[in-house]
């Protein structure tokens, strides 16, 4: 089979997923701020969306594993996301915005983990670097961030609906051209899966990593607002995310040069130290242009963390449970922390300011580092006793 159409369709789809993430992460909070919502209300909207994702993600993951298809589920969640967007942009009352937002995130939050699962499977089955394909989502995020910054500075953030719905339609059309990956030959055993996720070692891993990913989610939600608070504008928001996600794309593209899968926990610990230093520096920043410079660490921190965590997770999962396992990882490590981070982050930001929020994020990251060091020492000792 000619692999070029297979991977170019997938790369194009990931490019558009990254583009849509640009609007959801970078500009949707600014749209609601322009609409009159407070930072706390915006945090609540994002937290409710994450909660809806906690319901949707395991459901779509289970359906994907049960029927042994990722492509068809991707098509469904893309369609649901488009409907949710159309609904959101018809509204101005905060109550209905929360309802429509929850509907949107019920579908939308499943797109990225499903597409990552499809990418991981196809990459492994065809002997291709996962990072080299996954980088296209970062490329899409970066380019659209930069273009959107200039666009909204000219026309205003109130026109956000048009590019978001347009990208959504393109996503749907390209999802029809995706190829499904081969799945495991065994049927999914729900009892086996339940026992696996009761594994205390895995749960401890999820718990300690969450102290770091909590801060990542907080930053995603509030850094655009923080940039505005220290004197930035829509154009600088575009540059902020262009710089951050460009570094992410570079890290994914070069993953074969620096990532070694033998000791994934070591990479996560390294990412933790980088995150902690980054949050401390940002807490002292009062110049938006300095914040742009520090943002170059965004991709470095995230990709090192992500590659280490996914490698560790997939080593412990049989093929027929990987979509569900990937969803569980996203739910526990990014979903639950997203709810906590958005509620707490919005309150801290409104009450004590952005600097205090980032110093608290540094403290949380330190706790995660300490937990990971303990986890790794415990794992090494257990392996030694097993020998």
Q: Over the chain, what is the mean pLDDT?
A: 85
**Vertex 306, ends 305 and 308: CA angle to 5°?**
70
Q: What is the pLDDT of residues 316-329, one digit of tens each?
A: 776 666 666 666 77
Of residues 368 and 324, the one with the higher pLDDT is 368
Instruction: Give the model's pLDDT for residue 335.
Output: 77
Q: What average pLDDT does the segment 351-361 reach? A: 95
Q: What span, in angstroms and rounded, lies between the C-alpha atoms of 133 and 3?
A: 13
Residue pLDDT, tens place only, 147-180: 988 898 889 999 999 999 999 999 999 999 888 8
For residue 385, name the pLDDT band (cuts at 50, 70, 90).
very low
Nearest Cα neighbor of 177 from 330, 71, 291, 328 is 71
Regarding pTM above 0.85, the answer is: no
Mean pLDDT of 121-143: 82
d(CA 205, CA 105): 26
Least confident of 45-49, 90-94, 195-199, 241-245: 195-199
- DSSP 3-state of 105: helix
Q: What is the pLDDT of residues 15-73, one digit of tens each?
A: 999 999 989 988 898 899 889 988 889 888 988 888 888 888 778 877 887 778 888 99
Q: Which two tokens stand for residue 167?
A: 């990208």
Q: How confident is the model at residue 286 (pLDDT cuts 50, 70, 90)?
A: very high
Between 382 and 166, residue with greater pLDDT: 166
The number of angstroms, rounded, from the C-alpha of 77 to the middle of its chain's C-alpha atoms is: 16
Which domains are assigned to the chain?
A: 9-178+186-386 (1.20.1250.20)
Residue of higher predicted confidence among 149 and 332: 149
What are the DSSP calls for 262-308, one per residue?
T-HHHHHHHHHHHHHHHHHHHHH---HHHHHHHTTHHHHHHHHHHHH
């Amino acid at each position: 089979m000619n692999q070029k159409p297979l991977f170019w369709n997938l790369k194009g789809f990931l490019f558009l997923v990254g583009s849509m993430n640009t609007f959801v992460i970078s500009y949707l909070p600014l749209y609601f701020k322009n609409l009159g919502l407070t930072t706390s209300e915006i945090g609540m909207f994002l937290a409710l969306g994450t909660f809806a994702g906690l319901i949707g993600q395991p459901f779509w993951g289970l359906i994907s594993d049960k029927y042994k298809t990722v492509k068809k589920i991707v098509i469904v969640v893309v369609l649901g996301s488009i409907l949710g967007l159309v609904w959101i942009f018809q509204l101005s009352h905060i109550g209905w915005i929360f309802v429509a937002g929850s509907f949107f995130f019920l579908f939308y939050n499943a797109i990225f983990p499903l597409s990552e699962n499809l990418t991981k499977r196809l990459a492994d089955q065809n002997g291709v670097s996962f990072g080299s394909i996954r980088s296209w989502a970062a490329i899409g995020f970066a380019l659209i961030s930069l273009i959107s910054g200039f666009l909204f500075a000219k026309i205003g953030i109130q026109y956000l609906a048009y590019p978001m719905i347009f990208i959504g339609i393109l996503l749907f059309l390209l999802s029809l051209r995706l190829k499904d990956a081969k799945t495991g030959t065994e049927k999914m055993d729900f009892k086996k899966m339940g026992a696996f996720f009761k594994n205390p070692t895995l749960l401890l891993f999820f718990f300690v990593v969450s102290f770091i990913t909590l801060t990542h989610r907080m930053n995603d939600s509030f850094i655009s607002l923080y940039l505005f608070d220290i004197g930035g504008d829509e154009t600088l928001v575009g540059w902020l995310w262009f710089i951050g996600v460009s570094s992410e794309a570079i890290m994914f593209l070069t993953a074969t040069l620096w990532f070694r899968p033998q000791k994934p926990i070591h990479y996560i610990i390294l990412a933790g130290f980088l995150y902690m230093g980054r949050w401390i520096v940002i807490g002292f920043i009062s110049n938006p242009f300095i914040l742009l410079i520090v943002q170059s660490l965004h991709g470095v921190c995230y990709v090192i963390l992500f590659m280490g965590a996914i490698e560790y997770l997939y080593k412990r999962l049989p093929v027929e449970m990987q979509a569900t396992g990937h969803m569980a990882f996203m739910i526990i490590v990014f979903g639950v922390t997203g709810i906590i981070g958005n509620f707490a982050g919005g309150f801290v930001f409104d009450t004590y300011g952005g600097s205090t929020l980032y110093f608290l994020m540094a403290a949380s990251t330190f706790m995660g580092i300490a937990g990971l060091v303990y986890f790794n020492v415990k794992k090494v000792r257990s392996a030694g006793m097993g020998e």
